[in-house]
Amino acid sequence: MGLLMPLLLGGLALVGLPWFIHRVRRPSNNPTPFSSLMFLPKTVPPLRARKRIEHPWLMALRMLALVLLALAYARPYLLVRADAVPSATSKRQHVLLVDTSLSTTAGGQFEKTMEAAQACLAALGSDPVAIVTFNENAEVIAPLGAPDAASALARVVPTHGATDVLAGLRMAEEVLRLPSKPTVGEGREESIIHLVSDLQRTGLPDDATAFSLARSLSLKLIPVAPLPPGNTAVEAMVLEARAPSTLVARARLRNYGSERIDGTLEFWLNDALAASQPVSLQADGGVNVSLSAQSDLGRTARVEMRLAVADSMEEDNHRYAVFNPEPVRAIGVVIDPATDRSQPIPFLEAALAESQPVPWQWTPVEPAALAEVEAPVLVLPGPSTMTVDEAEKIVAYVDGGGGLLVVPSHAGFPEALNAGLLRPSGLEVSTAKFDAIDPSRYALLSWIDYDDPAFQAFRSAAYSDFSMLRFNNYYSLAVDPNAAIQVAARLEAPGETSPDPAMVTFKRGAGRVAVWAFPLEPDWTNITRTRRFVPLLHETVALLLPPLAPLREHIACEAISAPPALSVDGLRLRAPGDGEARPFALESKPGGGFIHGFYAWSSATGPEPEVVEAVNLRPKESDLGSLSAEEFLLRIGAASEGVVSGPNPANVPIVVHWEYGYPVLILLAVACLLESALAVFCSRPVAVEQRQP
């Protein structure tokens, strides 16, 4: 029998406390006066000569409770010897579960792992064996009873994946539960999982105790020698573009070792060293570092942070990220060359061209070219007339996924647009609110939906005031209450009780349309002369733009899927270290996973890579702390018979144990209950016998 935490057995020093308390409570030397001792027996020995303890059973129970408490904390376990080597006549089937995670490459651990696995395989003799390798995922490289298990094992290589022991155990369970086991003999067979692993601490999730190995399975642990201590890693990296041409990389560095490590952090940009900085990492600590370099922010850049230190595992000293410039999106402004450009168009042009950080560029679009518009958003300022054909092109543009902002003209609203675009959606721009413009009469934005995407940016108290906007006239928008039209703001004219829609949006087809009720002419509204116009225009345009595709970062061992922006036909992938790009066929993962680095996609039509993706290691794999065999088994709640583990310098499976923590706690609870009951009993007042004179 042993103790997992023997130091806590020092709590036994408290066992003497109940004896001391019970002894102290013996009567004091102060005698009690009594009328006469003539009726007391004369043969009672003196009190001092007697070593009696008050309530000895109660004291014994309390001491027992303290013993059990100390024992429970010390976590006793019982060694159970078992025959680790299966006999030739036993009916057994085995799964050899081999850890191939990145941590096994630290300090030459993988060679030891393979030696242990091969020795175990050899010791199993003719018993049916399956070989399963695992990192973050598990893979069966040799099914149960396969004749070429040894050669399959010889081909196992380490991967760049993190560790997930439970994934391996589940796969091993799955293999051993296969209904057809051709090599299984008659009678009850024994199923054994031989786990060869470095028992990395991060290889088990926090809730590993929720996992329970099937009771029909035995687990034999073959721990490889403890991982070498001390490892550093570039844990994370983010990129930031600073106009006009600076790319900033911020990295998080981590030192898992117990000693300070000094090194150099290098910023590699497109395979060239762009910047470097000496770093000093304190023991078991981390630091954030920032490096920058000049870069063309309009082009994709491959960024690598490289930590030049001497540590146990070199792979995690690199971290990769791809800078993809945000595409400049065109905003088309429909301009009729025949119209007067002195009116709202210049306002719009100026507003759309407002300084950074507006990620778009406006471009004029002539009505004749509406069918070929490629810009994702069109702004339609104030056409008073429109042909049906032009309206149809605009409708087709919206239906095809385009965004459209309609700003009416002071000269009227084209009926073709009403008929072709607005009325079918439940909206109509009708007549002007007032027949004439009176500078002294104006409407205000009396109602604003700050949850509408166009106004969300104005929620804060500093920007939510729109009272300076005055509208001397505007168009009445007839909104079908049954239509899915969002009214973002309303205008309230003087003397009116119900406000009128001022800004509305609706979806049509794959696109979206925003309609303003007011022209931008200065005599109609002063909005273009207020600070709210430019941000309001930008917000309205932004909600009409389609969302950008998110950047993708992969983790080693995850599958890489083809980027949606490229056509699958003729797609090629260039992996790190590959001389040639390979055709797109990534169902099989070489070596059980992906290595870290840059993967460049290109289509057959163009020689230059069109999409570059970064594959990185999982940060938790950099923590090389390992569990002891006992702790590993306790954390996974291994309780089935024949559970074995032990130190394994010569990869010989050894034995362990049943832990008796819970039974001890149950005994402790029972002892406490008995003690409470007995204490109540002992403290009861003694019944006084009333003697009848």
Q: Which residues bind other proteins (CB under 8 A)?
A: 26-27, 29-42, 44-47, 52, 54, 685-686, 688-691, 693
Q: Which residues have a Cβ under 8 Å from the Cβ of 39 and sit 6 or more positions away?
A: none
Q: Which is nearer to other proteins, 57 or 463 (CB)?
A: 57
In angstroms, the CA 256 to CA 276 distance is 22
Q: Which is nearer to other proteins, 47 or 157 (CB)?
A: 47
In angstroms, the CA 644 to CA 219 distance is 7
Cβ proximity of 402 and 373 under 8 Å? yes
Min CB(678)–other proteins separation in Å = 16
Q: What are phi and psi of 156, to 5 degrees?
A: -70, 135
Smallest CA-to-CA distance from 406 within 542, 503, 306, 266 is with: 503
Query: What does DSSP assign to residue 644?
Result: B
Q: Which residues have a Cβ under 8 Å from the Cβ of 587 and sit 6 or more positions away?
A: none
Q: Which is nearer to other proteins, 31 or 187 (CB)?
A: 31
Min CB(49)–other proteins separation in Å = 10
In angstroms, the CA 514 to CA 486 distance is 9
10 Å Cβ neighbour count for 567? 11
Q: Which is nearer to other proteins, 88 or 688 (CB)?
A: 688
In angstroms, the CA 370 to CA 404 distance is 12
In angstroms, the CA 276 to CA 267 distance is 6
Q: Which is nearer to other proteins, 53 or 140 (CB)?
A: 53
In angstroms, the CA 344 to CA 611 distance is 40
Q: Which is nearer to other proteins, 40 or 585 (CB)?
A: 40
Q: Which is nearer to other proteins, 36 or 588 (CB)?
A: 36
In angstroms, the CA 281 to CA 285 distance is 7
Min CB(688)–other proteins separation in Å = 5
Smallest CA-to-CA distance from 255 within 236, 234, 231 is with: 231
Q: What are phi and psi of 590, to 5 degrees?
A: -65, 130
Min CB(73)–other proteins separation in Å = 35
Q: Which is nearer to other proteins, 215 or 691 (CB)?
A: 691
Owner of token pair 């006469």: 36
From edge to edge, which strands make up the β-sheet containing 232-242? 232-242, 246-255, 285-294
Residue type, 122: A
10 Å Cβ neighbour count for 441? 16
Min CB(17)–other proteins separation in Å = 21
Q: Which is nearer to other proteins, 53 or 208 (CB)?
A: 53
Min CB(672)–other proteins separation in Å = 25
Q: Which residues have a Cβ under 8 Å from the Cβ of 628 and sit 6 or more positions away?
A: 199
Min CB(39)–other proteins separation in Å = 4
Give how far the C-alpha of residue 293 lies from the chain's centroid of Cα atoms, to the nearest Å: 29
Min CB(55)–other proteins separation in Å = 10
Q: Which is nearer to other proteins, 29 or 467 (CB)?
A: 29
Min CB(7)–other proteins separation in Å = 40
Q: Would the CA dihedral through 240, 241, 246, 247 be positive or negative?
A: positive
Min CB(62)–other proteins separation in Å = 18
Min CB(35)–other proteins separation in Å = 4
Min CB(686)–other proteins separation in Å = 5
In angstroms, the CA 646 to CA 631 distance is 11
10 Å Cβ neighbour count for 43? 5
Q: Which is nearer to other proteins, 51 or 81 (CB)?
A: 51
In angstroms, the CA 671 to CA 679 distance is 12
Q: Which is nearer to other proteins, 29 or 460 (CB)?
A: 29
Q: What are phi and psi of 491, to 5 degrees?
A: -110, 140
Q: Which is nearer to other proteins, 34 or 662 (CB)?
A: 34
Min CB(683)–other proteins separation in Å = 10
In angstroms, the CA 636 to CA 172 distance is 15
| Peptide bond between residue 357 and the one before it cis (omega within 30 degrees of 0) | yes
Surface-to-core class of residue 486, CB atoms within 10 Å of its CB (0-12 exposed, 13-18 middle, 19+ buried)? middle
Min CB(31)–other proteins separation in Å = 4
Q: Which is nearer to other proteins, 37 or 338 (CB)?
A: 37
Rounded to the nearest 5 degrees, what angle is found at the Cα of 322, between the Cα atoms of 317 and 327? 165
What one-character-per-residue DSSP string does 266-323 give?
A: EEEETTEEEEEEEEEE-TTEEEEEEEEEE--TTS-EEEEEEEE---S-SGGGEEEEEE
Min CB(211)–other proteins separation in Å = 56
Q: Which is nearer to other proteins, 39 or 662 (CB)?
A: 39
Residue type, 383: P
In angstroms, the CA 353 to CA 534 distance is 10
